[in-house]
Amino acid sequence: MSLQSASTGFDIGVFPVSHGLYQRALECMPGGNARAAIFISPQPPYLCRGIGYEVEDADGHRLIDLQNNMATLIHGHAHPAIVKAATSAIGRGSCFGLPTASDVELAEHLHVRQPSLENLRFTNSGTEAVMMAIRGARAYTGRDRFLRFTGCYHGFYDAVGPDGAPGRPVALEAEVISVPYGHAEHFLEAIEAHGDELACVVMDLMPNRNGLAPATADFVQLVRRETEQRGILLIIDEVITFRLSQGGFQESYDVSPDLTCLGKVIGGGFPVGAFGGRADVMRVFDPRETGAVDHGGTLSGNPVTMSAGLACMQMLNQDEIRRINGLGDRLRQELQALGYEVNGYGSLLRVVGDIDTRVLWWRLYRSGLLIARNGLMCISTAMNEEVIDMVLERFV
């Protein structure tokens, strides 16, 4: 069956098996998908396997995976060391109702990797990490309101969603101060007017939904300085950007937040999130303390995720980070030379500008490249210079 986009007339090709799966999916899931971020109109293909930097869909079409599940799979698909760690862990028990050594080991590794993580807790997603970091900031400061930057994505938690989003209570708009990202004047006006009401400022140093343009060092230092002076906690969302340096992207800015939110790469491809920072702030979650913030999550810190995550992070050393950042820089520069507008830093790239990203997505898919529907691309350690050569050939 050949499918065609009604709005552009772009022929997306023949996907007989995927079309059948999509029809079945429509019977049991709204829109035929389990999460909105992976839907591509008029209907998505379905993947069935992945090895290294390649994936294969249900119709036998093979692709170089530059999406890597939205920057999660930093070592590509089915890396032997991660598979071994996960299968070994599940053989001992998939989850328990008491702590295990595996969550201690990953917490220790992350603490050494990023010293600002004096204490941390695990969750099942980056969204949950942001939720709990904000709750912790409120408990610590005794303040209810917080500031976020317009257009930045911090998960599907109601409080961090955009004003007017369907299903988001209008009442939340009174709790959240939203200002344009990167605009010092607007930020200072908001801080001057509401600083004594704010528990925290939530910030991404290179927000994907805002075009993946890195923040300026001056703006980051301004935010850090103003929050410190006013007793406002700074929460840096590193769910996507933690891959960019040994201690996260904050290391590149020489900034130490009060709390950091993590996810994606730290789980080795399994559901994960983490939040942590100053020990005195994180003490609000200590169940030994009277009036501690309740932090649950039946599967948080489960040993399969923790074991896979530790294996993943141990392999992600500074040499590998430097290598894949170099591959990303090369791809970004050569795509720009071909006339594309591309933002990002290191192993994270995004095609932006005056371009129909859906048409681009399908054209690249047919040529054997998988990117995110918004133009996001992520380099994995499974890739090398030869793979980048192939990507460039297929982009043209």
Give the dihedral sign, CA 294/298/304/305: negative
Report the C-alpha gap between 82 and 100 in whole angstroms.
19
Helix pair 385-395, 318-337: axis angle to 10 deg: 20
The answer to whether the beta carbons of residues 226 and 203 sit under 8 Å apart is no
Residue 135 Rama label (left phi>0; alpha psi -120 to 50; beta): alpha
Cite the active site residues. Answer: 153, 237, 264
Rounded to a whole number, what is the largest CA-CA distance in the chain?
63
Q: In this structure, are residues 119 and 277 in contact, taking their beta carbons and an 8 Å threshold?
A: yes
End-to-end Cα, the chain, rounded Å: 26
Classify 362 in phi/psi space as left (phi over 0), alpha (psi -120 to 50) or beta: alpha
Cβ–Cβ contacts within 10 Å for residue 18, how many?
Answer: 22
